Structure 1
């Protein structure tokens, strides 16, 4: 049976600055080889550009809320995943709140899926007494959409400054981290 489409999915690709830096690096590499051979210079620059674009795509994490292998809703952030039944409060973080959460408010035990070019995100409390991770910080360019998908998947409510509560089942799973 085919898996249903995720309720929310976002690949945290670099912004225009990241893509521009990749293109600039490829151009500089091509210009550096120009005195050797113009064909070598152009082909090396193009190959470098393709490699950098593929590398940026491949290393960009996916954040999604969808159905897990057991049919239950799951939050995936990068290579980690957790059933939404183990999630508690969901808080949408604007740029200033995300900076504060990543700075003086950060708990070293928290799971962080961060990309500097996605400056907003969500803080998701864990409601699993067996897990030492207190919460997840997840970057997202569409934090309110991610929070809404989490609410639809099992949380009671979410807000920009406040938090909501998700249903909990503390004995039904843990994040699988590689």
Structure 2
């Protein structure tokens, strides 16, 4: 049973950026003819859209006693104190305060985040940093699921 699920999709305006690599490919291929240039525009724009969709496919899921953050999966019993990070705190934890051993699910276009301490002696990471659009809801769900 899924208690919480969030997809960290890219903003919709980013898909318009797919036009730029398409236009650049078309300009490079224009000497080979207009049909080749249009084909290059379509191919480059399609690959860019697929790349953006894949990058934004990361999910945060709380289900079955586990927290899944992207490809990482943690049992809820190994998670400690969770701290909600506003815009400024999230920026600091992404930059100056960041620990190289930490597990990060970082999306810079999501301004708020959640920092969760890891209490598992077998895990070398000191904390888990999750970019999330709904940090308050995620903290509430984690507290509920741990009971």
- TM-score category (smaller protein): 0.7 to 0.9
Matched, 1:140 2:136: no
SS of the aligned residue for 1:133 comes to: coil
Structure 1: 4+ residue segments shifted above 4 A: none
Residue 130 of structure 1 is matched in structure 2 by: 122
SS of the aligned residue for 2:104 comes to: strand
Matched, 1:62 2:59: yes
Matched, 1:33 2:29: yes
Q: Is the Cα contact below 8 Å between 2:79 and 2:119 reproduced in 1?
A: yes
TM-score (norm 1): 0.72
SS of the aligned residue for 1:124 comes to: strand
TM-score (norm 2): 0.85
Residue 79 of structure 1 is matched in structure 2 by: 71
Matched, 1:97 2:89: yes
Provide, for residues 128-165 of structure 1, a one-character-per-residue CA deviation record: whole Å limited to 9, x for no partner: 233222110011222223223222221xxxxxxxxxxx
Provide, for residues 55-113 of structure 1, a one-character-per-residue CA deviation record: whole Å limited to 9, x for no partner: 2222332222122xxxxx21111111101121111111111010111222222221111
Residue 112 of structure 1 is matched in structure 2 by: 104
Residue 7 of structure 2 is matched in structure 1 by: 11
Q: CA deviation at 1:123?
A: 0.4
Q: CA deviation at 1:17?
A: 5.2
Return closer, same or farther for 1:46/1:145 CA change in 2, 3 Å cut-off: farther
Structure 1, unpaired ranges of 5+: 68-72, 155-166, 168-178
Residue 88 of structure 1 is matched in structure 2 by: 80
Structure 1 CA distance for aligned equivalents of residues 142 and 115 of structure 2: 11
Structure 1 CA distance for aligned equivalents of residues 24 and 140 of structure 2: 43
Structure 2 CA distance for aligned equivalents of residues 118 and 137 of structure 1: 12
Structure 2 CA distance for aligned equivalents of residues 23 and 66 of structure 1: 38
Which structure shows the higher helix fraction? 2
Structure 2 CA distance for aligned equivalents of residues 57 and 16 of structure 1: 10
Matched, 1:152 2:141: no
Structure 1 CA distance for aligned equivalents of residues 46 and 144 of structure 2: 39
Q: Tell me the number of residue pairs that the alignment of Structure 1 and Structure 2 aligns.
A: 146
